[in-house]
């Protein structure tokens, strides 16, 4: 079972491996820089080598780089589009430097251009990237507030179908739940997995952001909860992590650090649910 968390790279990217091991994880995700600002990854070769060596030594992987929150692939604004493409290019290059196989990105928001135009903007922006060999861009499902795209699995399927890139998908359980896919029951999990397969293809599901939700299904509100303690709940989370079509997909947690519970607690919670 591959389960881990989004770890900090404070003090050097190699430290993320040690933090993952401390939390009991064996795969994970990082930001290469603060996701709230336009900033380039700055990873020196020695730190990158240490990250690769520690990951290999302790069998921690796959890793995912999460792109900046400022990236908007759907935008009709040329300046934002250029910044977004440039930022993504630097992320896929950093992934190659670190031997990280995946860079995860949200489609962004069409901000009034319309859904179809937004999706076409995303496709053309992604097609501008020179993605290094061994790196794959993952398009993440979204909660869908405002004009954000990716809340409908059909959006993800369209981008995968139309892009010249060999893209795959990251499913976020809290986002999907907020977008209206009811994961709180075994029946709901089955229906969601069936729809994901129909729209995207389960063969293209490379990673799952496993998060519970603090808000009701269909509210488009994105706020994560501890595994089994949100509104997806224990029954839904157990059904999801034990679903036969999902058992080999890496699970990355972005759960909160509150109520005396952090990543270590949530990772163990997932392992306990799988054991059940």
Residue-wise pLDDT for 207-257, tens only, equals 999 999 999 999 999 999 999 999 999 999 999 999 999 999 999 999 999
Residue 275 has pLDDT above 80, yes or no: no
What is the fold of 3-275?
TIM Barrel (3.20.20)
Residue-wise pLDDT tens digits, 156-172: 999 999 999 999 999 99
Angstrom distance (rounded) from CA 241 to CA 244: 9
Q: Label residue 276 by pLDDT band (50, 70, 90).
A: low
Residue-wise pLDDT tens digits, 245-269: 999 999 999 999 999 999 999 999 9
**How is the chain split into domains, by residue range?**
3-275
Q: Label residue 63 by pLDDT band (50, 70, 90).
A: very high
pLDDT recorded at residue 224: 98
Q: Between β-strands 205-209 and 251-253, what pairing exists: parallel, antiparallel or unpaired?
A: parallel
Residue 109 has pLDDT above 80, yes or no: yes
Which are the contacts of 124, defined by CB distance < 8 A and separation ≥ 6?
none
Q: Label residue 90 by pLDDT band (50, 70, 90).
A: very high
| Residue corresponding to tokens 């600002």 | 37
Angstrom distance (rounded) from CA 30 to CA 7: 6
- Structure token pair of residue 159: 């981008």
Residue-wise pLDDT tens digits, 3-56: 999 999 999 999 999 999 999 999 999 999 999 999 999 999 999 999 999 999
Count of Cβ atoms closer than 10 Å to residue 62 Cβ: 19
Reported pTM: 0.97
| Long-range Cβ contacts of 218-222 (<8 Å, 24+ apart) | 218/178, 218/179, 218/180, 219/178, 220/143, 220/144, 220/145, 220/151, 220/178, 220/179, 221/143, 221/145, 221/178, 222/142, 222/143, 222/145, 222/174, 222/175, 222/178
Q: Please, what is the angle between helix 186-199 and helix 153-162, to 10°? A: 20
């Amino acid at each position: 079972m591959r389960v881990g968390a989004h770890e900090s790279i404070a003090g050097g990217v190699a430290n993320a491996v040690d933090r993952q091991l401390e939390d009991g994880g064996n795969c994970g995700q990082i930001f290469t820089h603060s996701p709230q600002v336009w900033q380039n990854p700055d990873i020196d070769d020695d730190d990158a080598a240490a990250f690769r060596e520690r990951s290999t030594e302790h069998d921690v992987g796959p890793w995912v780089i999460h792109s900046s929150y400022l990236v908007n692939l759907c935008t009709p604004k040329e300046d934002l589009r250029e910044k977004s493409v440039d930022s993504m290019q630097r992320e896929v290059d950093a992934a190659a430097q670190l031997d990280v196989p995946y860079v995860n990105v949200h489609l962004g928001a069409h901000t009034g251009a319309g859904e179809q135009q937004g999706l076409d903007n995303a496709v053309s922006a992604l097609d501008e990237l020179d993605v290094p060999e061994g790196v794959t861009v993952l398009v993440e499902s979204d909660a869908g507030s405002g004009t954000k795209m990716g809340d409908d699995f059909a959006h993800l399927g369209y981008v995968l179908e139309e892009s010249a890139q060999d893209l795959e998908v990251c499913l976020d359980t809290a986002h999907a739940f907020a977008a209206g896919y009811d994961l709180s029951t075994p029946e709901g999990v089955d229906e969601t997995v069936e729809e994901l397969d129909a729209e995207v293809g389960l063969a293209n599901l490379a990673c799952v952001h496993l998060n519970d939700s603090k808000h009701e299904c269909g509210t488009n509100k994105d706020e994560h909860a501890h595994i089994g303690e949100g509104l997806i709940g224990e029954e839904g989370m157990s059904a999801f992590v034990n679903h036969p079509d999902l058992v080999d997909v890496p699970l990355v947690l972005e759960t909160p650090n509150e109520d005396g519970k952090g990543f270590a607690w949530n990772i163990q919670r997932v392992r306990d649910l799988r054991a059940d």
